[in-house]
Structure 1
Amino acid sequence: MTFEKATAQDTGMLTELRIAYLQEDLGEIEAVDLELIESLLPGYYEKHLNRNLMVYVARNEKDIVSCAFLLIVEKPMSPSFITGKTGTVLNVYTKPEYRKKGYAKKLMNMMLEDAKAENVSIIELKATEDGYSLYQSVGFEDVAAKYHNMRISL
């Protein structure tokens, strides 16, 4: 097994893994939405990969079997994120037949090391029940906040 950062040549496999993750997380995705995601993701990766989106992968020969995404955003500084750099973990996914072998944990640790080297102040994520113990094992903690988590769909 090889553990490394994804490259532009990986966009096809990254698109497949993103869709597999979404389908496992959300269930059935409407065909029109699925087609749109499949058509737009390669361009997104081309624009962001290894710039502000770091993707860590585990390869079994040429096949990517596990991945973890880190989206880095630079914001105005605050005591909560003193360098202004924050990260969001997305799409931590391992193909079912490769689970429970420590691949995602290895990728998360690589991600955290690189984030420290890049002076990222904090990294956030939303954990599923399945991923919760993994994230705890690499140091993530539950956050109690005085703010409400809110959003609007446009």
Structure 2
Amino acid sequence: MEIVYKKLSENELSRIIKMRIDQLTEEYTSEGRTVPEDVDLEASLMDFYKRNLAAGTYVSWLAFDGDKIIGTSGMSFAEKPPYFSCPSGKLGILSSMYTNPNYRRMGIATQLLDRVVKEAKEYGCGTIYITASDMGVKLYESYGFKHNGNFMQYNF
């Protein structure tokens, strides 16, 4: 088996959207939550990917085994007023990290993470944020991510 890595292009969007929904479903159900039946993410995800890929504010690397996508990663770029620990004000928001269960524990997630972190550095980001799933915490800690106890969120 030879794993090949490449950047997401519009050619893979429909496949990536299905994988993203599968990932979100897996995360929701593993936390004991029920996936809302009245939320259809397909159109919203397609709009997000097309707009942000075109604008250069989102990058994703994929892992392939032959023609099969077995891993994904994503990094959104945002900007806020600069501050001491991030003088550029440019932020990376890590998301969509997912590896097919049959390919886990093979270093694929680390390879994908390394590629999107390098993209964030090239973009000029001074900080990268992630809301990690329970499964992903060890990966991010081993890579050098630190917990930020001040993180809070507000949902509408």
Aligned to 2:91: 86
Mapped contact 2:5–2:62 kept (Cα < 8 A)? yes
**1:130 equivalent in structure 2:** 135
Alignment map for 1:5-154 (pairs within 5 Å): 5-27=7-29, 28-33=34-39, 36-49=40-53, 51-145=56-150, 149-153=152-156
Cα shift at 1:103: 0.5
Q: Is residue 4 from structure 1 mapped to residue 6 from structure 2 by the alignment?
A: yes
State the percentage of identical aligned residues: 24
Q: Which TM-score applies when normalising by structure 2?
A: 0.88
8 Å CA contact retained: 2:4, 2:63: yes
Measured against aligned partners, the alpha-carbon deviations of 1:80-117 in whole angstroms (never above 9, x if no partner) come to: 32111101111211111111111011010111122112
Q: Which amino acid aligns with 1:152?
A: N
RMSD (CA atoms):
1.5
Q: Which blocks of at least 5 consecutive residues in structure 2 are unaligned?
A: none
Find the aligned partners of 1:112 and 1:22 in 2 and give their Cα distance: 22
TM-score by length of 1: 0.89
Deviating beyond 4 angstroms after TM superposition, the runs of 4 or more aligned structure 1 residues are none
TM-superposed CA distance for 1:22, in Å, is 0.5
Alignment check: 8 A CA contact 2:59 2:119 kept: no
Q: Which runs of 5+ in 1 are unaligned?
A: none
